Each structure stands twice: as structure tokens, then as C-alpha cells.
Structure 1
Amino acid sequence: PNGLAVQQVVEAALEQLLGERVRLCSSGRTDAGVHARAMPAAFATSRELPLRAFIEGTNRYLPDDIAVQAACRVPDGFKPISAALAKHYRYTILNSTIRSPLDRLCSWQVRESLDLPAMIEAARCFVGRHDFAAFRASNCVAKTTVRRMDSVVINQVGSSINIDVVGEGFLKYMVRVMAGTLVDVGRGRFAPGHVEQLLHEGNRQKAGVTAPACGLCLIKVFYPDNSTECEQLIPFPNQSAIFVGSSSAPQRTICTPSSPQSSPP
């Protein structure tokens, strides 16, 4: 509550670069402590700069834990939140009795041995269109709790367990409650079929714990193939971007800062 939001920091950097006030419109909001590899956000500007100048110039004014990695021109009026087709979140669990100093800020340490096959079986229940009322924060004010999940995949690499969730949209704390419930399945507290029961009953009190924010990361926001054409400085997928609108003023710009920690709404 007392810290600066990533949005404020990026807006300040853009204002220094452009010499005019900028207001970002992002592709969504994340909880305090949640990370993001890609968070598209749009803004309008009357300045006309090469895409590379937007990328390098903005980064010059950003702190080390936030970076802009690509730039795109999009039609004026492009809204990153309404144009998004789906989002990809990853929740990372460190399943070890020994803490990892390097991973402690981006994973949830669970000391008990987890039953991975049971967790995978339970995760399959999430796929499809369901009522996720049991998997949301108590103060969630969404008009509907029905959401479509395209895939929920669990993989283990060494002591790290990744829960990758792709869906059209998410409720407040939804992925974190899903992760906490799957961990409780892995602990043997719930049977795998309990997830299906929760989806039918919608009782939050019967679901698992809300997993810590530190383990959650927004990996990618998906858009139609023809919505953006990015100039990329870093040639790897899932990167962040600044998207710049048409050459006519005012330009519509989208900015996706990459940050190890997104700030509270």
C-alpha cells in the first residue's frame, strides 16, 4: 500500500522520455507480490519516435527490476485488456525441506512430499468452462464467477513444481487458490475428485489455502495474430513490450514492462 506501483514507475519514465504526461491502460491487474514477465499496457502520445527509441529511452529511466523489451504499432483505440484472448499464469512450488535463497522470492516452499499424480488428476477437473466461485478472494466483486480454462498443466523439474494455467480470464486470487487446493491434494488432505465437487458447490471454505503471492507469475497475454507487429530487442518468447499506435497524433501506445514483482492494484 505504501510502495510505488509498477504502473507509476513506468508512467514516470515515459513522461521523462516524452516530456508529456502519460496514463497507462494495462491488460489486467495483479496482486501485491505477484510477478510478471509480460504485462501489456497502452498509452497515447503526440510524440513520434522510432520504436527502438521508445524501448531504449524508456529503459534508461527505469529501475533495474523493470524492463521494456519490444515495441509495436497498433490501431488507435487498441485496448490491451479487452483485446486479449487469454492469459498464461505459472505458479511455482519449491518442494524441498531446504529453502533456496535464490528462488525464495519467486516460489512457495512446501516441505512435505507431494503426490504429483494425484495433483495432475485433480488439475484436469479445472479444464473447461466452470463456476470458480470456490476459487476466489472473499472480496472479489466480479459480475460472474464463470471462467474458461484452456489448460492446466503440472510439471516437475528437480524440486520445482510448475503449475501452468491458461484461460480466458481469472478472478481475484483464483490461480493462487487453485494452486493451494492442488497442494492440499498433493498433501493428501483432499482426494483429486474434491476439485470437481468444489466447482459444483462453489464453497470457498471447502477449498484449499490461498497460496503465497510470491510463487505466481504472469507469463504471457495472448492476442490475435494480426493485432500487433513488434520490434523486438530480445529474441525469445513471452517477452514484454511497448506497443506504439499509428503515426497520426495522438499515437496509441502499449507498454509491457517486464518486472520480477508487479505492484498491488
Structure 2
Amino acid sequence: MRIALVLEYDGSAHCGWQRQPSGCSVQDALEAALSAIACHEVRVVAAGRTDAGVHAIYQAAHFDTSAQRPPDAWVRGVNTLLPGRIAVRWASPVADDFHARYCAKGRRYLYLLSNHAVRPGLLHGRAGWFHRPLDVDRMRAAAQVLLGEHDFSAFRAAECQAASPVRTLTRLEIVREGDLIVFDLCANAFLQHMVRNIVGCLVYVGKGRYSSEWVQALLEKRDRRLAAPTFDAAGLYLAGVDYDASWNLPTPAGLPPADTWAALAGRRG
């Protein structure tokens, strides 16, 4: 039997999604909890691998099991065995040909940036930080250059193992609420560090160092060495995975970015 599940996690205490010999990853914790409920070893496949310090509002995954358990056992039962920073929100049997990674049609990420002269305390580990004023209008203009299908070689990690650097970015919206700037990105898929590298380049534009023409040149030159440094992992959230409706997976909550953060940070008035 194949089970699909949706989980959320605070990645600040974990060494990323992917299984590690030290057992410090989100996958390690989830597989241990699922194995205890199933009474046999369970291996999990996720929609995407998040790096160390990266969070998830909506991470989808699947696993196979011979155990017959009520659906609630894969949620409440598993959650009793998980660290407090990880929680399964939904689980249900799916067809055997469902694959959390390969059936995904798109992904959504949020990046949360605290833009204040003094570093944040409450948002430590939950948002990136930049101390100088940023011009959001300049950043929005530069963001338009990145929309559509492009070779994103200048925005991928040197160790990225994707077969092709070509991706289609369908949304890159930037919203400011007080000292918080939220980047909302959707694409068919993302390269390793792609979001954090885009944010880093847009921050360079926002502080007045470069214009949108520089971002266009980065796309054309396809050279990672010419772009800005990779931004902090703390502000990055996997916020949604898009599947065909026939799989009957729950739809990610369609909260606007500012409301999403208010809920996460407990700042809703």
C-alpha cells in the first residue's frame, strides 16, 4: 500500500531534509516515526529536498507499507513520535503509481526577509536579515526579468546535480509589510539554491548597487560567479507542491504572503 502525506517543519534544528549518517535530518526523524507505527522499516520519498535551516509549510511525501493502519495512525500516531518542530498534517492511501517528486507539476517557495538596521531576535532562524534600506519597487522591476522560461545557471549552486538548468518561473511577487519583505515564487521546479540566489541578487538591486539590466545580463551570461552571494537559508519556506486534482491531495492553503507569516510568527492581531 502506498501512503501520501503532507507535513510541515521548522528546519532550524535539522541538517536538511535528506537522510544523514548522523540521523539529524527531517527524513531521519520521519522515517523513524513511521517505522515504529508500521512495525517495519519505512523509506520516504519527498517532493523536494530542503537544505539545512530551510523550513516547510507544505512538504509532500509518500511511502510504501504492508501495515494495515487507520489513516489517523499515520497522522496523530506518527506525530506523537516526532520532534515538536515536525508535524504530519494529512495522510491517505494513494494509487501505487503516485510519486511525490515525479508527479509534482510545480512548487512554491516563500522567502522572508527582515529589513531593519538592527538584527531581529524573535525572527532569528525564521527569516533572513538585511540591515540597509531596500527599494522594493526596484526589486519588483528586476524580478520581472526572471519570469518565464530561462537558463538559470547563474542562480544555481555549484554542486547542483539537476540535468538541466532550464526552469520556468511563473510567479515572483514581492510584498512589504513594515520591516518584513516577502518573496513569493512559483516554478515548475527549482534548482539547488535558486531561490536564495535570486533573493541575494534582488537585494543587490534593492540597495542600489545594480539595476534590472544587471539581472538580465546574469541570465544571458549564465555564470554563477558574477551573481550575488547565496542568501541565508533561515528565511526560506517550501510553501506548496502542485499536483493534478486526480490524486486527491489537499491543496496548500492559499494565504497571502503577509498573512502566512503572521500565522507562522504568531503576530496576528
TM-score category, normalised to shorter length: 0.7 to 0.9
**Shift of residue 229, structure 1, vs aligned partner:** 4.5
Amino acid at match of 1:159: D
What is the number of equivalent residue pairs in this alignment? 236
The aligned residue for residue 79 of structure 2 is 59
The aligned residue for residue 248 of structure 1 is none
1:177 to 197, 200, 205: 197
The aligned residue for residue 191 of structure 1 is 211
The aligned residue for residue 49 of structure 1 is 69
1:214 to 210, 225, 234: 234
Amino acid at match of 1:57: G
Q: How far apart, in 2, do the equivalents of 1:20 and 1:84 lie? A: 27
Q: Following TM superposition, where does structure 1 have runs of at least 4 consecutive aligned residues deviating by more than 2 angstroms?
A: none
Q: How far apart, in 2, do the equivalents of 1:3 and 1:68 lie? A: 19
Contact 1:90 1:217 in 2 (8 A): yes
Contact 2:23 2:29 in 1 (8 A): no
Q: How far apart, in 2, do the equivalents of 1:42 and 1:70 lie? A: 11
2:253 to 228, 234, 237: 237
**Shift of residue 227, structure 1, vs aligned partner:** 1.0
TM-score, normalised to structure 1, is 0.85
- Counterpart secondary structure, 2:237: strand
Contact 1:108 1:211 in 2 (8 A): yes
**Shift of residue 3, structure 1, vs aligned partner:** 5.5
The aligned residue for residue 228 of structure 1 is 248
Gaps of 5+ in 2: 1-14, 16-21, 256-263, 265-269
1:205 to 196, 201, 225: 225
Amino acid at match of 1:142: A
The aligned residue for residue 130 of structure 2 is 110
Contact 2:175 2:182 in 1 (8 A): yes
Q: Map 1:1-265 to 2 at 5 A.
A: 2=22, 4-230=24-250, 237=253
- Larger CA deviation: 97-106 vs 168-177: 97-106
Contact 1:39 1:221 in 2 (8 A): yes
- Counterpart secondary structure, 2:59: coil
**Shift of residue 108, structure 1, vs aligned partner:** 1.2
**Shift of residue 238, structure 1, vs aligned partner:** 6.8
**Shift of residue 104, structure 1, vs aligned partner:** 1.3
Q: How far apart, in 2, do the equivalents of 1:229 and 1:192 lie? A: 38
Amino acid at match of 1:237: A
Higher relative contact order (CA 8 A, sep 6+): 1
Q: How far apart, in 2, do the equivalents of 1:21 and 1:86 lie? A: 30
**Shift of residue 37, structure 1, vs aligned partner:** 1.3
The percentage of aligned residue pairs carrying the same residue is 36
